[in-house]
Amino acid sequence: MKKQIYIFSIGFLLASVAIQAQQVLPITKAEVLAKVSDENRAIKISEQEYLEAKADYKQTNGVFLPNITASHTGMATTNPLMAFGSKLNQEILTASDFNPDLLNNPGQVENFATRFEIQQPLINMDGIYQRKAAKSKMEAQALKIERTSDYYAFEVEKAYMQLQLAYKGVDVLEKALETANANKKLADNSFKQGYLQRADVLSVEVRVNEVKNQLQSAKSNVENASNYLSFLMSESSDVIYKPSDSLQIARFSALNSETISEERSDIKAMKLASKAYETMNKADNMSFLPRLNAFGSYELYDDQIFQGDANGYIFGAQLSWTILDGTKRFGKAQKSKAEFEKSKLQYDQYVSQNQLELNKARRMLTDAENRLNLTKLALEQSEESFRIRTNRYEEGLEKTTDLLLSETQYSQKQLEYYQTIFEYNYAQAYLQFLTKN
């Protein structure tokens, strides 16, 4: 038994030294919030998704802006038609070129053409609605950034409280270890004087090792909470953070809302996404209408590269109408209609689900508040009971088992009380997150 206790104590000591060797860095909740806002990867991902949507919207400028291209083409031909046309474009035809033998069997003709073309959309109804849909998607992504930031601010609140709770656990168990060691010393003295049996001393030693084990777990909880904060801040995980303030009962504001606000950023984003699907469906229906586009070109021709002794231009307008494209457009319109209807159902489901979460959160807050009062009373009672039994034990009037039971109960009630404070604060933070506009 002594050998096992010795080995356990060595392991506990080594683990404690390893934890102490890590860097302990004090930090405030405001510092965590600032770093998460600037460095969190999920927030940065949502920002990039917004830039993607913005780029998609920018591409729809083609519905209004012209398409301008320039090209320079060089060719050599003995094709009768191409040879005659090239000379005609270069404005170098002579009467001899109308000789039937030359028309039918021309020599090689070189032609270099420089062309500037412009295409200007005039009426493109499906493109206009596609642009509106892209704008709605972009606005929805902007709101997604806002809600993502709100979510990680809530995660910071929770993670920081978890770190505070972990340190409270360490404090409670360190004091419990001091008390257990003091009881062990007292038990050893009583055993030497013949007042206690060996079994009582062993029970005290078991309690000491039990508290050491719990303390090690509590220190691991500090590391786990610190690692999660590091993850949120996108930093290395080899730092042990220490909160600048301890866990206390908090009071959050604006917790009286009974319903989910439709002005909340994520709900507005879903509404905009549904609007985008509706607009895309309109765009697919508008694809059945004709399109009107203007066009024009200016051309330079020569038999030498990058020259242009001859020139000409073309301009006009084209009204095009794809009357039947198989059933492709019909199927596309049906698909976008189904996507729009699905988005409306998803919106209603999301709002309903969040209302359910709000109701659950309000009950969770009420339950946590009730438990807070009960655990505080239980803590006070267990503390007084432990004080009385300790005094009686020192006078030889209390059994060792009763003292150990009282001391264990007191430690448990302290941990339960701080856990309840965490649950109460968390319930308030979650309720505030759900009701934030």
What value does the mean pLDDT take over residues 286-301? 92
| Residue 74 phi, psi dihedral angles, 5° rounding | -115, 140
- For residues 374 and 325, give the distance between their C-alpha atoms in angstroms, rounded to a whole number: 73
What value does the mean pLDDT take over residues 182-201? 78
- For residues 180 and 404, give the distance between their C-alpha atoms in angstroms, rounded to a whole number: 8
What value does the mean pLDDT take over residues 214-240? 91
What value does the mean pLDDT take over residues 405-418? 88
What value does the mean pLDDT take over residues 270-281? 94
CB 156 within 8 A of CB 38: no
Neighbouring CB atoms inside 10 A of 301's CB total: 22
For 379-389, what is each residue's pLDDT tens digit?
A: 899 888 888 88
Comparing CA positions, the residue from 124, 122, 59 lying closest to residue 287 is 124
- Hunting for tokens 């059933």 — which residue is that? 327
What residue spans define the domains of the chain?
2-65+124-291+327-435
For the ranges 208-212, 303-307, 309-313, 420-424, the maximum mean pLDDT occurs at 420-424
User: At the top level of CATH, which class does the domain 2-65+124-291+327-435 belong to?
Assistant: mainly alpha
- For residues 51 and 48, give the distance between their C-alpha atoms in angstroms, rounded to a whole number: 5
Percentage of the chain with pLDDT > 70?
94
For 122-180, what is each residue's pLDDT tens digit?
A: 999 999 999 999 999 999 999 999 999 999 999 999 999 999 999 999 999 898 888 88
pLDDT at 163: 96
For 17-69, what is each residue's pLDDT tens digit?
A: 444 556 889 999 999 999 999 999 999 999 999 999 999 999 999 899 999 99
Neighbouring CB atoms inside 10 A of 226's CB total: 24
Q: SS3 of 49, please?
A: helix
